[in-house]
Amino acid sequence: DEFISSPPRKTVRFGGTLTEILLKYEKGDTTDFELLKHQLSDPDIKDAQIINWLHEFRASVVYLTKELEQLVNILLKLPWLRRSREVVEEYLGFLGNLVSAQTVHLRPCLRMIVSQFVPPRITIREDDVDISDSDDDDENISENFDTCHRALQTVARYVPSTPQFLMPILVEFFPFINKSERTLECYVHNLLRVTVYLPTLRLQILELIIEKLLKLDVSSPQQDIEDAEEAANNCASEEKSAEEGLFDMEEDEDRKGNKVVSPSIERMAHPLAERLDILMTILFSYIKDVCHVDGKLDISNTKDLYRDLVSVFDKLILPTHASCHVQYFMFYICSFKLGLAEAFLDHLWKKLQDPNNPSVIRQTAGSYIGSFLARAKFIPVVTVKACLDLLVNWLHKYIDNQDTGANAYCDVALHGPFYSTCQAVFYTLIFRHKQLLDGNLRKGLSYLQSLNFERIVMCQLNPLKICIPSVVNLFAAITRKYQLVFCYTIIERNNRQFIPVVRSGTGGDLVQTCTNPLDSFFPFDPYILKRSKKTIDPMYQFWEELSAEDLENLKKPIKKGTSEDEDDDFLKGETPQNDGVVEIAPNSYESNTRSPVSSIGSPADCYVPYPL
């Protein structure tokens, strides 16, 4: 039975042995050589034939010089991956022999292996238009990828310089961002697998992946994602209403309790956001797997990966304005250990205070500090206080140096890092003030008073004029409630000085006011990608809508001279007993134009009325 079922072995050979054919070719006789190429290119070539040829080629690699590059390319195109195990093993042996004897063929071998990092392409045509893409139905795709990595490791074992030749090829073969989700998912997953056995390439591969993720991120702004989701939800609701109207039967009612959740609920309506969501999920999984060994955090691995990710952050993320999601890889790895979060804050702090850095980088570092302190649940109050001390002391020294000189006036171009730091402090206070006051109101108020916000607010540089209005309004309400500083006089004066900007448009003149002269953003605004947000949400500080009672309480100042009992009553009545969730907070300035639905998790703007 085994004999009958086995494929027939090729016994008839044209032109003699392989060595004879190659020697004839060197002398100018190409007849047998052309026949050899034809046989190797036969789409119906059998496994036994491939094994026979590969066995001969392994014994004759010394003849496969640069002049026989065309023949080697045909060998590299052999369909070896989807063949029997014997063919795969013989081919891996051939690759090892080839690159060790003829390193001139290293690049073609690497290109052949990397080209297999995506699912095989199937040809589909619609109305004479080629819409071919990856074949998602290949059952052996995981096994094929394993074999590809074995091949790459085999080549790297024989040629130590493989990494330097491999990296440009990995860049070249990276699929375009409009390729299918499956194609991108497989390629990124395989790139990250390469970092496991070629660790010298990890930093470069992470840079490559995050650079591509950034392109996806900036090509799918948060507002566009929310609009696409809203449109998809409206469309689904209309379809559901139509179906219920047509098939409103009793048996349908009985089935409603056992509805199966549709896979589309997990999908993003925005196509680029869907790709980004899948790839961010892979990146988060990779970070977790590298940092944990047998379920426990490996400090050495984590530190090494953290250094690589910080390097990528500095090179790609920090100079990129208003990315929405990709920067969360730093948020995630910092959640593993407080020391990493503190190291990240220290890194940002050094960027902020270094006058040799470009102003825009210093401002962005300030935005990251404020947003990170506000949003990261895993950062304790003691760390928040330490950061506030650093930031506020720097602000006071800056005022000492600038508030009486020739540059002592409100100007973003001159004092951008100062205003960014002010906004980071205000934003942190909005989120964290209840935690700072929790446990002992008198001690907490004493700490906040020691920060001397009044001097910062009243200085000639006038930070309240430059910071985002939503941040200013909430900061003013909170500092008034605890009698730290009264901001409303300055806010009213600033409002009177605002000069509207008139711009001509097709629909007539439009009057605008610049509500964000810093052009700042909050890098850790709510994460809205459906799959990957499950990783972020447990460690993320959300806030709730302001109730009417909260608004009233914000307008009531705390009386001086409260007793300890009154302290306790205040704490019982107003300080949350959970993780210190703050009920209110602003989003980026663009959110003033958003609908309430689109700003879930981060309300657009909270206007606290000026006290009469």
Structure tokens at 472: 């200013």
pLDDT given at position 282: 97
∠ CA 362-364-367, rounded to 5°: 115
pLDDT-wise least confident of 485-494, 530-539, 582-591, 600-609: 582-591
DSSP 8-state secondary structure symbol assigned to residue 376: B
- At residue 504, φ and ψ (nearest 5 deg) are -85, 140
| Tens of pLDDT, residues 442-481 | 999 999 999 999 999 999 899 999 999 989 999 999 999 9
Which stretch of DSSP H or E encloses residue 511? strand 508-512
Question: Cβ(71)–Cβ(78) under 8 Å?
Answer: no
pLDDT-wise least confident of 120-134, 198-212, 378-392: 120-134
Q: Does residue 560 surpass a pLDDT of 70?
A: no
**pTM of model > 0.85:** no
pLDDT given at position 495: 87
Taking the C-alpha atoms of residue 289 and residue 301, their distance in angstroms, rounded to an integer, is 10
149-165 burial code (b ≥16 CB/10 A, e <16): bebbebbbebbeebeeb
User: Span 593-600, mean pLDDT?
Assistant: 33
Structure tokens at 29: 């006789």
Q: Is 408 exposed, middle or buried (0-12, 13-18, 19+ CB in 10 A)?
A: middle
pLDDT given at position 577: 35
Higher pLDDT, 240 or 457: 457
Taking the C-alpha atoms of residue 109 and residue 99, their distance in angstroms, rounded to an integer, is 8
Q: Does residue 12 surpass a pLDDT of 80?
A: no
Q: Does residue 345 surpass a pLDDT of 90?
A: yes
List Cβ neighbours of 29 (8 Å cut-off, separation of 6 or more). Answer: none
pLDDT given at position 551: 65
Q: How many CB atoms lie within 10 A of CB 275?
A: 25
Higher pLDDT, 504 or 595: 504
Q: Does residue 425 surpass a pLDDT of 60?
A: yes
pLDDT given at position 518: 75
pLDDT given at position 353: 93
pLDDT given at position 19: 87
User: Span 220-249, mean pLDDT?
Assistant: 76
pLDDT given at position 591: 36
DSSP 8-state secondary structure symbol assigned to residue 7: P
pLDDT given at position 578: 37
Identify the band that residue 607 occupies on the pLDDT scale cut at 50, 70 and 90.
very low
Structure tokens at 159: 């040629």
Identify the band that residue 504 occupies on the pLDDT scale cut at 50, 70 and 90.
low
DSSP, collapsed to helix, strand or coil, labels residue 567 as helix
Identify the band that residue 322 occupies on the pLDDT scale cut at 50, 70 and 90.
confident
pLDDT given at position 547: 60
| Tens of pLDDT, residues 146-171 | 999 999 999 999 999 999 999 999 99
pLDDT given at position 583: 38
Every domain of the chain and the residues it spans: 9-121+140-161, 357-501+517-523
Identify the band that residue 543 occupies on the pLDDT scale cut at 50, 70 and 90.
confident
Residues pairing with 503 in the sheet = 510
- Maximum average pLDDT range among 120-129, 300-309, 401-410: 300-309
Q: Does residue 405 surpass a pLDDT of 70?
A: yes
Average pLDDT, the chain: 82
Which stretch of DSSP H or E encloses residue 182? helix 181-197
Taking the C-alpha atoms of residue 424 and residue 584, their distance in angstroms, rounded to an integer, is 16
Question: Cβ(166)–Cβ(216) under 8 Å?
Answer: no
User: Span 314-339, mean pLDDT?
Assistant: 95
List Cβ neighbours of 491 (8 Å cut-off, separation of 6 or more). Answer: 464, 472, 473, 476, 610
Identify the band that residue 248 occupies on the pLDDT scale cut at 50, 70 and 90.
low
Percent of the chain with pLDDT over 70: 76
CA 27 to chain centre: 58
Higher pLDDT, 398 or 259: 398
Kindly list the distances between the CA atom of residue 169 and the CA atoms of 161, 174, 331, in Å, as whole numbers in the listed order.
14, 9, 31
The DSSP string of 276-329 is: HHHHHHHHHHHHHHHHEETTEE-HHHHHHHHHHHHHHIIIIITTSTT--STTHH
Question: Cβ(373)–Cβ(428) under 8 Å?
Answer: yes
| Tens of pLDDT, residues 113-122 | 999 999 987 6
Kindly list the distances between the CA atom of residue 421 and the CA atoms of 216, 353, 561, in Å, as whole numbers in the listed order.
29, 10, 32
Identify the band that residue 499 occupies on the pLDDT scale cut at 50, 70 and 90.
low
Pick the closest to residue 386 from 377, 373, 397 (CA basis). Answer: 373
Percent of the chain with pLDDT over 90: 59
Higher pLDDT, 96 or 9: 96
pLDDT given at position 599: 37
